[in-house]
């Protein structure tokens, strides 16, 4: 349980997961809680202007599942009575406020050894299951478009493999959510929302069965879009009011499809029907708010928006993960459940896998693997020197063991994106071969 307290109430022995100044969003968020060891540390935080701390009162526990009743067929969709939005994506969020990650204190306690071997070993299976998921989504989306039923057997099988992967290693499958190079946005997005929902659910300590039902709902969350005309679905620009009304029907249509599909739990149906509800009640399909929105739908909502923000679309360039996380942090409590946004930041890290970063040495690198104990010291692939001359072969370095090398900021890869993608792919190939 995370609780916000004034900095004056902070005491030694407390664990903190974040700090905040007076300006909204001017905060630090840590992937893992940090122990306050002495009064000097508290004084230092006060001197830096922090006014509030987020303390962890006990071990993270799953939020209670408060499943609203779903009697008979899923709701046909009440009118929200709210002004229509112009696109099937989040409304433009407030301006970016720096997370100031470079000021994050590094815990002094020795971190447990990280078994990178597990990550590399799991990556091979994770990549296979991701490919399988892409084929699965393409298949059931085409079935729905053709008016056929969804076969739940293959869905359960693939989601089961994804859940098993994330239980074996929490980072391998998650690292593949950065992949966007799929032929159709809706297909790739469905796979990524499933991976990110499982990541978040795993971070919350959900059971294997709960994760499975969450994953099934997440991979099917936009199934209703297959019944929306392609001219609207693939329109390269803003939708008209009438088009957006039609697009919004995908939650109702998806809910109806899942009601006709055998062996789908109500928990999974909630994801499809309610992933566009907002925490403050301003979303659709049924104008639900707060915990009245099923936990799984709240999780999928966070995953849905993060993937949409970080994806290139015909009409917009994808944001850097760091920028998307900052924007989502500012939307906590209104668009999203605050705790879930904070958990997303902690589970992905301030610099998620694949982030292009500049180091204190001036070298350029890409984040290879997060360090959950030391968020600012992940494992990276350094590919250019301080004068930006490319190395012949990228240098894989664990920043945890480095003195004088740390991340100073994320950078937009721009034209270097293909180079970074190649470096990451080659690193995976080398790792898998070893
Ligand atoms: Fe959707």
**Average pLDDT, stretch 267-275?**
96
> What are the extents of the domains in the chain?
2-56, 116-348, 356-433
- Ranking 295-304, 355-364, 419-428 by mean pLDDT, the lowest is 419-428
* Distance from Cα 38 to the centre of ligand 1, integer Å: 47
* Distance from Cα 190 to the centre of ligand 1, integer Å: 9
- Ranking 78-82, 233-237, 378-382 by mean pLDDT, the lowest is 78-82
Tell me the CATH class for 116-348. mainly alpha
Residue 100 predicted with pLDDT over 50: no
- Ranking 59-63, 274-278, 286-290, 381-385 by mean pLDDT, the lowest is 59-63
* Distance from Cα 97 to the centre of ligand 1, integer Å: 27
**Average pLDDT, stretch 275-296?**
95
**Average pLDDT, stretch 418-428?**
74
pLDDT of residue 61: 36
* Distance from Cα 91 to the centre of ligand 1, integer Å: 14
- Ranking 159-173, 276-290, 411-425 by mean pLDDT, the lowest is 411-425
Please indicate, yes or no, whether the overall pTM of this predicted structure exceeds 0.85.
no
Residue 409 predicted with pLDDT over 90: no
* Distance from Cα 276 to the centre of ligand 1, integer Å: 6
Residue 164 predicted with pLDDT over 60: yes
* Distance from Cα 385 to the centre of ligand 1, integer Å: 43
Work out the pLDDT band at 129, boundaries 50, 70, 90. very high
Work out the pLDDT band at 51, boundaries 50, 70, 90. confident
* Distance from Cα 221 to the centre of ligand 1, integer Å: 6
Look over the chain and give the mean of its residue pLDDT values, rounded to a whole number: 78
Which residues fall inside 5 Å of ion ligand 1, going by CB?
A: 222
pLDDT of residue 199: 93
pLDDT of residue 337: 95
pLDDT of residue 98: 32
* Distance from Cα 304 to the centre of ligand 1, integer Å: 7
Residue 344 predicted with pLDDT over 60: yes
Residue 364 predicted with pLDDT over 50: yes
* Distance from Cα 225 to the centre of ligand 1, integer Å: 8
* Distance from Cα 251 to the centre of ligand 1, integer Å: 7
Q: What is the pLDDT of residues 200-256, one digit of tens each?
A: 999 889 999 999 999 999 999 999 999 999 899 888 888 999 999 999 999 999 999
The 3-class secondary structure across the chain, one letter per residue, is CEEEEEHHHCCCCCEEEEEECCCCCCEEEEEEEEECCCHHHHHHHHHCCCCEEEEECCCCCCCCCCCCCCCCCCCCCCCCCCCCCCCCCCCCCCCCCCCCHHHCCCCCCCCCCCCHHHHHHHHHHHHHHHHHHHHHHHHHHHHHHCCCCCCHHHHHHHHHHHHHHHHHCCCHHHHHHHCCCCCCHHHHHHHHHHHHHHHHHHHCCCCHHHHHHHHHHHHCCCHHHHHCCHHHHCCCCCCCHHHHHHHHCHHHHHHHHHHHCCCCCHHHHHHHHHCCCCCCCCCCCCCCCHHHCCHHHHHHHHHHHHHHHCCCECCECCCCHHHHHHHHHHCECCCECHHHHHHHHHHHCCCCCCCEEEECCCCEEEEEECCCCCCCCCEEEEEECCCCCEEEEEEEEEHHHCCCCCEEEECCCHHHHHHHHHHHHHHHHHHHHC
């Amino acid at each position: 349980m995370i609780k916000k307290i004034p900095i004056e109430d902070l005491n030694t022995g407390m664990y903190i997961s974040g700090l905040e100044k007076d300006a909204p969003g001017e905060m630090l968020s840590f992937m893992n809680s940090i122990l306050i060891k002495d009064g000097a540390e508290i004084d230092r935080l006060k001197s830096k202007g922090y006014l509030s701390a987020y303390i962890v009162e006990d071990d993270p526990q799953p939020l209670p599942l408060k499943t609203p009743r779903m009697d008979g067929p899923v709701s046909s969709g009440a009118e929200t009575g709210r002004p229509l939005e112009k696109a099937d994506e989040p409304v433009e969020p407030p301006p970016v406020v720096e997370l100031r990650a470079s000021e994050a204190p590094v815990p002094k306690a020795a971190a447990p050894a990280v078994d990178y071997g597990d990550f590399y070993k799991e990556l091979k299976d994770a990549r296979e299951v991701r490919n399988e998921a892409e084929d699965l989504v393409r298949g059931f989306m085409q079935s729905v478009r053709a008016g056929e039923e969804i076969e739940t057997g293959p869905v359960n099988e693939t989601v089961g493999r994804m859940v098993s992967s994330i239980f074996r290693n929490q980072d391998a499958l998650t690292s593949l959510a950065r992949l966007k190079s799929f032929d159709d946005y809706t297909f790739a997005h469905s796979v990524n929302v499933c991976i990110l929902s499982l990541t978040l659910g795993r971070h919350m300590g959900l059971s294997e069965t709960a994760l499975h039902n969450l994953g099934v709902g997440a991979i099917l969350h936009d199934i209703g879009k297959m019944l929306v005309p392609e001219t609207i679905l693939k329109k390269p620009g803003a939708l008209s009011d009438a088009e957006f009304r039609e697009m919004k029907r995908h939650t109702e249509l998806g809910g109806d499809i899942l009601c006709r599909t055998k062996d789908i739990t109500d928990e999974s149906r909630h994801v499809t029907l309610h992933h566009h509800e907002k925490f403050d009640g301003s979303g659709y399909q049924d104008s639900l708010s707060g915990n009245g929105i099923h936990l799984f739908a709240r999780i999928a909502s966070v995953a849905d928006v993060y993937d949409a923000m970080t994806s290139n679309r015909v009409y917009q360039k994808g944001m850097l993960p760091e920028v998307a996380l900052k924007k989502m942090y500012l939307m906590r409590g209104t668009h999203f459940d605050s705790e879930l946004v904070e958990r997303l930041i902690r589970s992905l890290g301030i610099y998620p896998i694949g982030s292009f970063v500049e180091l204190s040495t001036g070298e350029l690198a890409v984040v290879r693997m997060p360090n959950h104990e030391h968020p600012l010291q992940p494992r990276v692939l350094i590919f250019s020197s301080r004068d930006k001359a490319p190395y012949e072969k990228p240098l894989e370095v664990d920043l945890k063991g480095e003195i004088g090398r740390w991340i100073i900021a994320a950078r937009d890869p721009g034209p270097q994106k293909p180079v970074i993608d190649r470096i990451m792919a080659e690193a995976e190939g080398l790792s898998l071969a070893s």
